[in-house]
Amino acid sequence: MPRILFRIYLKLVLLAAAVGMLTRVVLLFSPQTTDLDFKFGEWFEIFLLGALNDVCAMTLGFVFMMGFVTSVSVSKYRKPFGFILLGLLIAATLYILCFNTIFDEYGGVVPAIAVGIMGYWTASFALRLYCERIRHA
Protein backbone atom coordinates (compact mmCIF):
# COMPACT_ATOMS: atom_id res chain seq x y z
CA MET A 1 0.00 0.00 0.00
CA PRO A 2 2.73 2.58 0.77
CA ARG A 3 4.17 2.07 -2.72
CA ILE A 4 0.84 3.05 -4.29
CA LEU A 5 0.64 6.12 -2.05
CA PHE A 6 4.14 7.14 -3.08
CA ARG A 7 3.23 6.82 -6.76
CA ILE A 8 0.12 8.96 -6.28
CA TYR A 9 2.13 11.52 -4.32
CA LEU A 10 4.85 11.60 -6.98
CA LYS A 11 2.31 12.10 -9.78
CA LEU A 12 0.60 14.93 -7.89
CA VAL A 13 3.93 16.63 -7.16
CA LEU A 14 5.00 16.36 -10.80
CA LEU A 15 1.65 17.75 -11.95
CA ALA A 16 1.89 20.67 -9.53
CA ALA A 17 5.49 21.36 -10.56
CA ALA A 18 4.58 21.28 -14.26
CA VAL A 19 1.60 23.60 -13.81
CA GLY A 20 3.67 25.93 -11.61
CA MET A 21 6.52 25.97 -14.13
CA LEU A 22 4.14 26.76 -16.98
CA THR A 23 2.51 29.51 -14.94
CA ARG A 24 5.88 31.07 -14.10
CA VAL A 25 6.99 31.00 -17.74
CA VAL A 26 3.76 32.65 -18.87
CA LEU A 27 3.97 35.30 -16.16
CA LEU A 28 7.64 36.05 -16.81
CA PHE A 29 6.95 36.73 -20.48
CA SER A 30 3.82 38.78 -19.92
CA PRO A 31 3.99 42.48 -20.87
CA GLN A 32 3.89 43.54 -17.22
CA THR A 33 7.09 41.70 -16.28
CA THR A 34 9.23 42.05 -19.40
CA ASP A 35 10.32 45.53 -18.28
CA LEU A 36 11.93 44.16 -15.12
CA ASP A 37 15.06 42.70 -16.81
CA PHE A 38 15.64 39.64 -14.67
CA LYS A 39 19.21 38.35 -14.56
CA PHE A 40 20.00 34.65 -14.94
CA GLY A 41 20.46 34.21 -11.17
CA GLU A 42 17.09 35.82 -10.50
CA TRP A 43 15.39 33.56 -13.08
CA PHE A 44 17.06 30.55 -11.49
CA GLU A 45 15.89 31.70 -8.06
CA ILE A 46 12.33 32.28 -9.28
CA PHE A 47 12.08 28.82 -10.79
CA LEU A 48 13.90 26.99 -7.98
CA LEU A 49 12.00 28.64 -5.14
CA GLY A 50 8.76 28.29 -7.08
CA ALA A 51 9.33 24.56 -7.59
CA LEU A 52 10.20 24.16 -3.90
CA ASN A 53 7.03 26.03 -2.98
CA ASP A 54 4.99 23.77 -5.28
CA VAL A 55 6.46 20.63 -3.73
CA CYS A 56 5.81 21.89 -0.18
CA ALA A 57 2.24 22.92 -0.99
CA MET A 58 1.51 19.58 -2.65
CA THR A 59 3.04 17.70 0.29
CA LEU A 60 0.83 19.58 2.72
CA GLY A 61 -2.20 18.98 0.53
CA PHE A 62 -1.33 15.29 0.27
CA VAL A 63 -1.09 14.98 4.05
CA PHE A 64 -4.58 16.46 4.42
CA MET A 65 -5.89 14.25 1.61
CA MET A 66 -4.49 11.15 3.32
CA GLY A 67 -6.07 12.27 6.57
CA PHE A 68 -9.40 12.48 4.80
CA VAL A 69 -8.95 9.09 3.13
CA THR A 70 -8.08 7.61 6.52
CA SER A 71 -11.21 9.12 8.03
CA VAL A 72 -13.40 7.54 5.33
CA SER A 73 -12.11 3.94 5.50
CA VAL A 74 -13.42 1.38 7.97
CA SER A 75 -9.93 0.10 8.76
CA LYS A 76 -9.31 3.03 11.08
CA TYR A 77 -11.32 1.30 13.81
CA ARG A 78 -8.90 -1.63 14.14
CA LYS A 79 -6.85 -1.86 17.32
CA PRO A 80 -4.52 -0.10 18.17
CA PHE A 81 -4.87 2.34 15.25
CA GLY A 82 -8.38 3.39 16.30
CA PHE A 83 -7.28 4.29 19.81
CA ILE A 84 -4.27 6.22 18.50
CA LEU A 85 -6.54 8.21 16.18
CA LEU A 86 -8.99 8.87 19.00
CA GLY A 87 -6.14 10.11 21.19
CA LEU A 88 -4.93 12.43 18.41
CA LEU A 89 -8.46 13.78 17.89
CA ILE A 90 -8.89 14.41 21.62
CA ALA A 91 -5.49 16.11 21.78
CA ALA A 92 -6.32 18.32 18.76
CA THR A 93 -9.70 19.26 20.24
CA LEU A 94 -8.16 20.13 23.60
CA TYR A 95 -5.41 22.11 21.88
CA ILE A 96 -7.94 24.20 19.97
CA LEU A 97 -10.08 24.61 23.08
CA CYS A 98 -7.36 25.51 25.60
CA PHE A 99 -4.57 27.26 23.70
CA ASN A 100 -4.19 30.32 21.50
CA THR A 101 -4.44 28.99 17.94
CA ILE A 102 -4.74 30.47 14.49
CA PHE A 103 -8.51 30.42 14.90
CA ASP A 104 -8.23 32.95 17.73
CA GLU A 105 -6.45 35.34 15.38
CA TYR A 106 -9.62 35.62 13.30
CA GLY A 107 -11.67 36.39 16.38
CA GLY A 108 -15.43 36.41 16.52
CA VAL A 109 -17.15 33.09 16.19
CA VAL A 110 -14.33 31.27 14.34
CA PRO A 111 -12.79 29.61 17.46
CA ALA A 112 -16.22 28.35 18.53
CA ILE A 113 -16.83 26.91 15.06
CA ALA A 114 -13.41 25.18 15.08
CA VAL A 115 -14.04 23.69 18.53
CA GLY A 116 -17.52 22.60 17.45
CA ILE A 117 -16.26 20.85 14.32
CA MET A 118 -13.38 19.13 16.11
CA GLY A 119 -15.62 18.20 19.03
CA TYR A 120 -18.22 16.70 16.70
CA TRP A 121 -15.55 14.81 14.78
CA THR A 122 -14.01 13.47 18.00
CA ALA A 123 -17.35 12.49 19.58
CA SER A 124 -18.65 10.80 16.43
CA PHE A 125 -15.38 8.91 16.00
CA ALA A 126 -15.46 7.76 19.62
CA LEU A 127 -19.06 6.57 19.27
CA ARG A 128 -18.27 4.64 16.09
CA LEU A 129 -15.10 3.23 17.66
CA TYR A 130 -16.87 1.83 20.72
CA CYS A 131 -20.31 1.03 19.22
CA GLU A 132 -19.93 -1.26 16.24
CA ARG A 133 -23.63 -1.07 15.35
CA ILE A 134 -23.34 2.69 14.77
CA ARG A 135 -20.29 2.14 12.58
CA HIS A 136 -22.20 0.13 9.97
CA ALA A 137 -25.35 2.22 9.94
Distance of CA 75 to the CA centre of its chain: 21
Q: Which of 18, 102, 4 is nearest to 58 (CA)?
A: 18
How many CB atoms sit inside 10 A of residue 96's CB?
19
Query: Where does a domain end: 38, 72, 106?
Result: 72
Q: With pLDDT > 90 as the criterion, what percentage of the chain qualifies?
A: 33
Domain count, the chain: 2
Answer yes or no: pTM beyond 0.85. no
120 residue type, one letter: Y
Query: Where does a domain end: 49, 72, 95?
Result: 72
Least confident of 12-21, 23-32, 111-120: 23-32
Q: How confident is the model at residue 61 (pLDDT cuts 50, 70, 90)?
A: confident
